[in-house]
Amino acid sequence: MLHKTSRMIGYHLVADDGEVGHVDDFLVEEGTWTVRYLVVDTSNWIGGRSVLISAAVVSGVDSSSRKIRVRLTRVQLENSPSVDEADIDPDETLPSVWIL
Protein backbone atom coordinates (compact mmCIF):
# COMPACT_ATOMS: atom_id res chain seq x y z
CA MET A 1 0.00 0.00 0.00
CA LEU A 2 1.22 3.51 -0.78
CA HIS A 3 1.15 6.30 1.79
CA LYS A 4 1.85 10.01 1.33
CA THR A 5 4.80 11.03 3.48
CA SER A 6 3.34 14.51 3.89
CA ARG A 7 0.36 12.99 5.70
CA MET A 8 2.54 10.70 7.83
CA ILE A 9 4.43 13.50 9.57
CA GLY A 10 3.27 13.43 13.16
CA TYR A 11 2.43 9.71 13.16
CA HIS A 12 3.44 8.03 16.42
CA LEU A 13 6.19 5.45 16.24
CA VAL A 14 5.54 2.16 18.03
CA ALA A 15 8.53 -0.06 18.82
CA ASP A 16 8.28 -3.71 19.89
CA ASP A 17 8.03 -2.58 23.51
CA GLY A 18 6.07 0.68 23.36
CA GLU A 19 5.70 4.12 21.81
CA VAL A 20 8.88 6.10 21.29
CA GLY A 21 8.05 9.39 19.60
CA HIS A 22 6.64 10.69 16.35
CA VAL A 23 7.77 11.08 12.75
CA ASP A 24 9.16 14.53 12.13
CA ASP A 25 10.45 14.10 8.57
CA PHE A 26 11.70 11.67 5.93
CA LEU A 27 14.98 11.47 4.02
CA VAL A 28 14.65 10.15 0.48
CA GLU A 29 17.13 8.92 -2.09
CA GLU A 30 17.46 11.62 -4.72
CA GLY A 31 17.69 9.39 -7.78
CA THR A 32 14.97 6.87 -6.92
CA TRP A 33 12.76 8.82 -4.47
CA THR A 34 12.97 5.84 -2.11
CA VAL A 35 12.46 6.66 1.56
CA ARG A 36 15.80 5.84 3.24
CA TYR A 37 15.27 7.16 6.77
CA LEU A 38 12.55 8.34 9.09
CA VAL A 39 13.47 11.28 11.30
CA VAL A 40 11.92 10.51 14.69
CA ASP A 41 11.35 13.20 17.32
CA THR A 42 11.79 11.59 20.73
CA SER A 43 11.28 14.80 22.74
CA ASN A 44 8.48 13.31 24.81
CA TRP A 45 10.59 10.29 25.66
CA ILE A 46 14.37 10.88 25.77
CA GLY A 47 14.49 14.64 25.92
CA GLY A 48 14.37 16.38 22.60
CA ARG A 49 16.61 14.21 20.49
CA SER A 50 15.80 13.55 16.83
CA VAL A 51 17.10 10.20 15.61
CA LEU A 52 17.27 8.48 12.24
CA ILE A 53 15.91 5.01 11.68
CA SER A 54 16.05 3.01 8.49
CA ALA A 55 12.83 2.66 6.53
CA ALA A 56 13.68 -1.06 6.29
CA VAL A 57 12.60 -1.59 9.93
CA VAL A 58 9.05 -0.36 9.32
CA SER A 59 6.71 -3.31 9.76
CA GLY A 60 3.39 -1.57 9.25
CA VAL A 61 1.47 1.68 8.93
CA ASP A 62 -1.92 2.15 10.57
CA SER A 63 -3.37 5.31 9.03
CA SER A 64 -6.59 5.20 11.04
CA SER A 65 -4.71 5.40 14.36
CA ARG A 66 -1.81 7.46 12.91
CA LYS A 67 0.84 4.93 14.01
CA ILE A 68 3.90 3.40 12.38
CA ARG A 69 5.16 0.10 13.79
CA VAL A 70 8.88 -0.68 13.65
CA ARG A 71 10.94 -3.80 14.36
CA LEU A 72 13.09 -2.16 17.03
CA THR A 73 13.12 -1.99 20.79
CA ARG A 74 13.07 1.27 22.71
CA VAL A 75 16.75 0.75 23.61
CA GLN A 76 17.71 0.23 19.96
CA LEU A 77 15.87 3.38 18.98
CA GLU A 78 17.47 5.33 21.84
CA ASN A 79 20.89 4.23 20.53
CA SER A 80 20.11 5.26 16.94
CA PRO A 81 22.20 8.10 15.53
CA SER A 82 20.88 11.61 15.88
CA VAL A 83 20.42 13.68 12.76
CA ASP A 84 23.54 15.67 13.72
CA GLU A 85 25.70 12.56 14.30
CA ALA A 86 24.60 10.45 11.33
CA ASP A 87 27.05 9.66 8.58
CA ILE A 88 25.10 11.37 5.79
CA ASP A 89 26.05 14.22 3.52
CA PRO A 90 24.91 17.51 5.14
CA ASP A 91 23.46 18.57 1.78
CA GLU A 92 20.98 15.70 2.10
CA THR A 93 19.44 17.23 5.21
CA LEU A 94 19.01 20.75 3.86
CA PRO A 95 15.70 21.87 2.39
CA SER A 96 15.49 21.92 -1.39
CA VAL A 97 15.74 25.28 -3.12
CA TRP A 98 13.89 25.69 -6.39
CA ILE A 99 14.92 28.46 -8.75
CA LEU A 100 12.32 29.24 -11.38
pLDDT of residue 87: 64
Centroid of chain to Cα 28: 11
C-beta separation of 36 from 28 below 8 A: yes
Q: Assign residue 66 a region: left if phi > 0, alpha if psi is -120 to 50, beta otherwise?
A: left
Alpha-carbon distance of 63 to 78, in angstroms, equals 24
pLDDT value, residue 63 = 92
CATH number of 5-93: 2.30.30.240
Per-residue pLDDT at 67: 96
Distance separating alpha carbons of residues 51 and 24, to the nearest angstrom: 10
Per-residue pLDDT tens listing for the chain (100 residues)? 678 888 999 999 999 998 889 999 999 888 888 899 999 998 776 666 889 999 999 999 999 999 999 999 988 988 888 877 666 655 554 444 444 4
